[in-house]
Amino acid sequence: MSGTIKGLIPSDVQFDGSSIRVAIVHARWNNKVTEALVVGAVAKLKARGVKESNIIIESVPGSYELPLACSKIIAGSHVPAASTVQDLLGGLNFGTPQGTPRSGTPAPTGGSVISAAMPNRPFDAVIAIGVLIKGETMHFEYISESVSHALMRIQLDTGVPVIFGVLTALTDDQALQRAGLTQGGHNHGEDWGLAAVEMASHLRRWGEGKFAA
């Protein structure tokens, strides 16, 4: 691979990921490779300042499940995570005789309603990681095409960058090499971590109407 022109050109800008929240969704199929890719992505996210508490990692069985998982995770990150004590107690039945109608537990009296809140805010980027290795049937082609199109549609529909971290390898060796698990190989997960921080930073800037001079 010496002399190749392939690969990501490093950005001149050192993007700051300290306020960015990223989800990594990875398939467990071909787990030896996907695990290495996740490690590479996390390492570069942290290198750009993304806090460990702002890196959420979820897994699904295979690459075909990645689009649905990414879609639901993006949607779920927009759901408010605060509930009042009245909300939490409303359906409970403390000593009420069976069969007695009950509309819900009254709110605490003599003060404001207490909130039990968990921190939650939308993800700035999602990294979808999977490994597809061509076999003897058309399964590889069908999954590769459908997952690629679905992940692209999700980022266009939601406005949240979905980094395409699905390796489509023809052989085991190609997959291992692209996860940095062979001599002279390179872990592409590192590129995806950097891309997530860069795209999240770009979208914040573009959303504020700021563009490169």
Residues assigned a catalytic role? 139
* Three-state DSSP state, 36: helix
User: Whole-angstrom distance between the N-terminal and C-terminal Cα of the chain?
Assistant: 36
Taking the C-alpha atoms of residue 179 and residue 189, their distance in angstroms, rounded to an integer, is 7
Taking the C-alpha atoms of residue 17 and residue 21, their distance in angstroms, rounded to an integer, is 8
CA 184 to chain centre: 28
CB 63 within 8 A of CB 166: yes
Backbone torsions φ then ψ of 132, nearest 5 degrees: -110, 125
> Which tokens belong to 35?
């695990």
Residue 165's nearest CA partner among 44, 16, 53 is: 44
